[in-house]
Chain A
Amino acid sequence: MATGLTILDPTSESNPSTRQLLARPADIKGHTIALLDISKPRGNVFLDRIEELLTERGAHVKRFAKPTFTKPAPVDLRHEIATQCTLVIEALAD
């Protein structure tokens, strides 16, 4: 085929890596679950109730919070969650 115009790529020329989701745990009993409050108003109300329900079912719950919902979670916070917990639930609220 005859060629047309050649241009320079305006993008970052990178592709996101795709990762397989982990298998769903059969049971949450004994798991340590991170509840990440993104610091939206009333997110804590939702998470308080989730914590109750998870604890009733035998999970350990650890609470975390982002400094602000407008910025990505700091690297240290992500590391803390990854090293201390096996599951994470992130809450968006308003």
Chain B
Amino acid sequence: MSTTAPLLPDGFVVIVKHECATCQMVEPVLAAIAASGAPLTVYTQDNPDFPASVPHILDTTLAVSWHNDIETVPTLLVIKDGVETERTFGWSQAEWQRITGISSLGADLPATRPGCGSMSVDPDRVDALRAAFTDSPVISRHIEFSSAEDEFEAMYARGWTDGLPVIPPTRERVLRMLTGTTRHPQDIVAIAPPDLVELTVEKIAINAVMAGCLPEYMPWVIAALEAVCNDQFNMHGVLATTMPVGPVIICNGPGTRAIGMNSGINTFGQGNRANNTIGRAVQLTIRNVGGGRPGEVDRATHGNPGKISFCFAEDEENSPFTSLATERGVPAGQNAVTVFAGEGPRCVVDQLARTPEELTASLAACLLTVNHPKLVIGFDAILTLSPDHGRVYAEAGWTRERLLAEIAERTLRPGADLVRGAHGMAEGAPLHLRDSTLPKFRAGGLLLTYAGGGAGLFSSIVAGWANGAIGSDPVTRIVGS
């Protein structure tokens, strides 16, 4: 099909469909316009015999309707020198009379009647029409499966999945995904490791389709990929390490609610499309475009299930604290993602603490075990407080800063407890630190977040990977359009 817009003839142009009762109602009106001698062209979307009383042109391909943004039938247009100068849709006696200049037009009809949806905006047709009529600069190679091939099996066989089935990225689906971003399909978002490939918006959209994303997730997927593909986050190392980490994506801002992210019950778990497919799209992009596959560059000893997707939103509405994004310098009201090289979450159980001091002591004791009780400073962590634990701090008026300072104080450890050999464990800090007092986390190394269901006196810890210049730093990026 042609992607160029068909030229409309000068005069009055009306687009109708037989299925629409309003279109049927205005048939005598069309006849009256034709009888007046005014130039009239009628396009019909469905029935070649309708409207019987006036000559008409079939628009069964919907090319005319698509290229002229017809959303409602009937639509009356005035075309002068090939340019649209007037438009009304549905039936409005006053409007049709004004535009045609025929004062008695449709005098026996009701004053107004709404039209019906144009077939060119029918949700079942719109993807195919976009693919047919959009001259989109989507340039990826087309891969044609044979009719004997099951497309899902074929995609497994080509090594494109994370072990779960993926949605076939047809051109129609990819173009629909691209409607979720204002960025050009050939914009380069990042250089994707490990193969150091120029990562385009188009390739991200293809993998986002496969992951199961909706178009409105695209800006989040793009921002998360920008956040992981740089020297600071070091996606190459996160992939290559034998440790179990993967990119954990924390989403902030009003957009998290707009796209239906889950920050409540089972926030780290299954069941929410946005949470599970945004993280998955990031991982599939690294796998398929970057070339990072387990057993090849990905050398993880155990990995963790979050390497399929680990993405959640902070419950900013109910949090007693400033959000992680605000803490990291994101202006209020902006959407942002923060990426963290983390393993799976573990639960902190404290059902008895009623004071912030008691609860902080529990949290600190559990945080001390991150990666190893005798390893300090070199690993960051995320602490996610639940509403039930958060309330203890809210009622006591503790701020984010206060809580982090109190945890820092309670996670200071004497070097004698940490050095190699102490407590019968070879692992630990170098011997020369025996007389030091050492913090568990480097400054800023504990990322406090708030999410989870409304019941449960539990919090959650996500342990990190080697931090700083030798490993990975958390990275925050604003979500664009």
Contacts and interface: CB of A to CB of B under 8 A. Distances in A.
Contacts of B146: 1-4
A8 B289 contact: no
B270 interface: no
Interface in B180-228: 192, 194-195, 197, 202-203, 206-207, 210
Interface in A27-54: 39
B280 to A, nearest CB: 13
Nearest to B155: A7
B289 A11 contact: yes
A62 to B, nearest CB: 23
B197 A14 contact: yes
Given A68-B470, A70-B241, A70-B466, A8 B142 contact: yes
A13 interface: yes
Nearest to B144: A6
Report, as a range, how many residues of chain B touch the other chain: 35 or more
Given A4-B144, A68-B471, A12 B197 contact: yes
B170 A6 contact: yes
Contacts of A72: 194, 236
Contacts of A70: 234, 236-237, 240-241, 466, 470-472
B258 interface: no
Contacts of A71: 231, 234, 236-237
A23 interface: no
A22 interface: no
Residue of A5, A10, A13, A14 with highest tally of chain B CB at under 10 A? A10
A14 B141 CA distance: 11
Nearest to A68: B470
A9 B236 CA distance: 23
Nearest to B472: A70
B171 interface: yes
A2 B231 contact: no
- By DSSP majority rule, is chain A's interface helix, strand, loop, or mixed? loop
B244 to A, nearest CB: 15
B140 interface: yes
Given A12-B203, A71-B236, A7 B145 contact: yes
B469 interface: yes
A4 B197 contact: no
B471 A5 contact: no
A4 B148 CA distance: 7
Nearest to B468: A68
B325 interface: no
B168 interface: yes
Contacts of B143: 6-9
B94 to A, nearest CB: 49
Contact of A2 (B140, B147, B160): B147
A68 B469 contact: yes
Residue of A1, A11, A12 with highest tally of chain B CB at under 10 A? A11
B151 interface: yes
A7 B142 contact: yes
B174 interface: yes
B140 A9 contact: yes
B138 to A, nearest CB: 7
Interface of A: 1-14, 39, 67-72
20 contacts: A1-B148, A4-B144, A4-B148, A5-B145, A6-B142, A8-B140, A8-B143, A8-B174, A9-B142, A9-B143, A9-B206, A10-B140, A10-B160, A10-B203, A11-B291, A12-B192, A12-B197, A12-B291, A13-B140, A70-B234
Given A2-B147, A8-B171, A12-B289, 13 more contacts: A5-B144, A5-B145, A5-B168, A6-B145, A6-B170, A7-B171, A8-B142, A10-B207, A10-B284, A39-B470, A67-B469, A68-B469, A72-B236
